[in-house]
């Protein structure tokens, strides 16, 4: 098949859906398919255009009509069997109100023999008690999505979670679930390198034999409203039960709340906890850090686990994942090994200590690409 992916940005490490498309495209190529990835609204591109055999990036600074014309020409030359729109409303408008893009998406979609619409995110203001402003914005985003669906006329709609699938169904849009894969490919393991990085960042514990301490990892942004106290209590219990110190590494941009979060943990947990920040790192280094760790910690809402590339990366690297309190998604991806634990569960420390570490699978993007191709084949049968 000849597959054309349409996305907002393809700047590596700056756009989660762009990273997803790059990895998915590479996996599809390994299966024997031909891929063209197109960034329609790339805020990170300084030049007006960047083009190679398999990638076309267009700067957000260029007039939209001109970008649409360039992409139409590229798609006609490529002759795709499927045009796959990887949709995130905020990739095309700062408030997610991307009305002006829907006619362009329709023009681009008809160039392919078939059209695929992947919803990575939906509308805001649903669930719990969101502020009025969020509900109003969410209403506008729902109208944009309904208009997009009517104009683009997809042969196949997918989304990343069963929760999103149900939301779309309530709005009359039938979607298949195509689970996300991890945003960090599995690299060659190098424990000595990770020990060196942690030591250089201030850890003394990592100079001891590896089996004399436990190592946890937080990868990605810490939400500003995340309450560190339940995690602090859980870590204190883990230290007591294991009779070992704990080293907690924080990898990635972390966000503005990460420093305050680290201080809260250090103050709340007895003396044998080290919190070490490694900051932004290359994908290879992150993969090696995940392989070195004993467990991962996810500070996001359990409700949205199955749309988290960070959560998927921890699972694909064989890590048991410890979660904040909240409603656990009931999908098989969460129920499968390695285990998903919660701070408040009485047996979570025991389960972690008795857990046999799984090896890294490395199958994430390849499996998703295979699942996607099978859905394409079913849609054309």
Give the architecture-level CATH label for domain 2-183+366-380: 3-Layer(aba) Sandwich (3.40)
Comparison of pLDDT for 372 and 138, the residue scoring more: 372
Percentage of the chain exceeding pLDDT 90: 49
Identical fold for domains 2-183+366-380 and 191-361, yes or no, is yes
Region 258-283 average pLDDT? 80
Predicted pLDDT of residue 73: 96
Predicted pLDDT of residue 182: 84
Region 30-41 average pLDDT? 96
Is the distance from CB of 314 to CB of 221 less than 8 angstroms? no
Query: Does pLDDT of 115 surpass 90?
Result: yes
Is the distance from CB of 117 to CB of 154 less than 8 angstroms? yes
Q: Tokens 């894969």 belong to which residue?
A: 181
Comparison of pLDDT for 138 and 333, the residue scoring more: 138
Give me the chain's average pLDDT, please. Answer: 87
Predicted pLDDT of residue 325: 64
Q: What is the spatial distance between Cα 27 and Cα 82, in angstroms, rounded to a whole number?
A: 16
Confidence of residue 80 (pLDDT cuts 50, 70, 90): very high
Query: Would you say the pTM of this structure is higher than 0.85?
Result: no
Is the distance from CB of 302 to CB of 342 less than 8 angstroms? yes
Query: Does pLDDT of 358 surpass 90?
Result: no
Confidence of residue 279 (pLDDT cuts 50, 70, 90): confident
The domain ranges of the chain are 2-183+366-380, 191-361
Confidence of residue 255 (pLDDT cuts 50, 70, 90): low
Is the distance from CB of 339 to CB of 320 less than 8 angstroms? yes
Region 319-341 average pLDDT? 70
Please return the burial class of 198, using the count of CB atoms within 10 Å of its CB with bins 0-12, 13-18 and 19+: buried
Query: Does pLDDT of 143 surpass 80?
Result: yes
The token duo for 36 is: 């063209």
Interval 188-214: pLDDT, tens? 999 999 999 999 999 999 999 999 999
Query: Does pLDDT of 267 surpass 60?
Result: yes
Query: Does pLDDT of 103 surpass 70?
Result: yes
141-179 in b/e burial notation, b at 16+ Cβ within 10 A?
Answer: bbebbeebbeebebbbbbbbbbbbbebbeeeebebebbb
Predicted pLDDT of residue 337: 63
Per-residue H/E/C for the chain:
CEEEEEECCCCCCCCHHHHHHHHHHHHHHHCCCEEEEEEEEECCCCCCEEECCCEEEEECCCCHHHHHHHHHHHHHHHCCCEEEEEECHHHCCCCCCCHHHHHHHHHHHCCCCEEEEEECCCCCCCCCCCCHHHHHHHHHHHHHHHHHHHHHCCCEEEECCHHHHHHHHHCCCCCEECCCCCCCCCCCCCHHHHHHHHHHCCCCHHHCCHHHCEEEEEECCCCCCCCHHHHHHHHHHHHHHHCCCEEEEEECCCCCCHHHHHHHHHHHCCCCEEEEEEECCCHHHHHHHHHHCCEEEECCCHHHHHHCHHHHHHHHCCCCEEECCCCCCCCHHHHCCCCEEECCCCCHHHHHHHCCCCCCCCCHHHHHHHHHHHHHHHHHC
Query: Does pLDDT of 38 surpass 80?
Result: yes
Predicted pLDDT of residue 145: 94
Q: What is the spatial distance between Cα 381 and Cα 336, in angstroms, rounded to a whole number?
A: 32
Predicted pLDDT of residue 332: 56
Q: What is the spatial distance between Cα 246 and Cα 271, in angstroms, rounded to a whole number?
A: 10
What CATH code is assigned to 191-361?
Answer: 3.40.50.2000
The token duo for 116 is: 């695929």
Predicted pLDDT of residue 330: 54
Query: Does pLDDT of 361 surpass 90?
Result: no
Predicted pLDDT of residue 362: 58
Q: What is the spatial distance between Cα 228 and Cα 231, in angstroms, rounded to a whole number?
A: 5
Predicted pLDDT of residue 359: 66
């Amino acid at each position: 098949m000849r597959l054309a992916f349409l996305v907002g940005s393809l700047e590596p490490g700056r756009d989660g859906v762009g990273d997803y498309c790059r990895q998915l495209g590479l996996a599809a190529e390994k299966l024997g398919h031909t891929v063209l990835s197109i960034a329609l609204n790339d805020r990170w591109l300084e030049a007006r255009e960047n083009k190679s055999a398999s990638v076309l990036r267009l700067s957000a600074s260029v007039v939209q009509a001109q970008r649409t014309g360039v992409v139409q020409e590229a798609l006609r030359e490529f002759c795709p069997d499927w045009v796959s729109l990887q949709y995130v409303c905020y990739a095309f408008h700062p408030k997610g109100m991307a009305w002006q893009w829907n006619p362009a998406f329709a023009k681009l979609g008809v160039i392919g023999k078939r059209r695929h619409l992947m919803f990575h995110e939906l509308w805001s203001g649903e669930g719990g008690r969101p502020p009025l402003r969020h509900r109003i914005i969410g209403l506008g985003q729902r109208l944009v999505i309904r208009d997009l669906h009517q104009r683009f006329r997809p042969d196949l709609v997918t989304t990343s979670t069963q929760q999103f699938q149900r939301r779309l169904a309530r709005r009359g849009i039938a979607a298949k679930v195509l689970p996300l894969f991890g945003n960090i490919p599995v690299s060659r393991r190098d424990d000595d390198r990770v020990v060196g990085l942690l030591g250089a960042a201030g850890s003394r514990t990592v100079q001891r034999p590896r089996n004399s301490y436990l190592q946890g990892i937080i990868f990605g942004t810490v939400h500003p409203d995340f309450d560190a106290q339940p995690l602090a209590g859980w870590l204190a219990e883990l230290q007591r039960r294991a009779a070992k110190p704990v080293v907690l590494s924080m990898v990635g941009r972390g966000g503005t709340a990460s420093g305050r979060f680290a201080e809260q943990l250090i103050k709340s947990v007895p003396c044998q906890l080290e919190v070490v920040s490694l900051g932004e790192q290359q994908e290879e280094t992150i993969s090696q850090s995940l392989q070195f760790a004993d467990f991962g910690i996810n500070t996001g809402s359990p409700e949205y686990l199955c749309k988290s590339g960070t959560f998927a990366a921890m699972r694909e690297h064989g890590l048991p994942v410890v979660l904040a309190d909240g409603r656990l998604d009931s999908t098989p991806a969460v129920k499968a090994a390695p285990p998903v634990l919660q701070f408040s569960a009485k047996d979570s420390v025991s389960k972690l200590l008795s857990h046999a570490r799984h090896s890294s699978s490395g199958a994430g993007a390849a499996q998703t690409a295979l699942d996607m191709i099978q859905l394409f084949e079913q849609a054309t049968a």
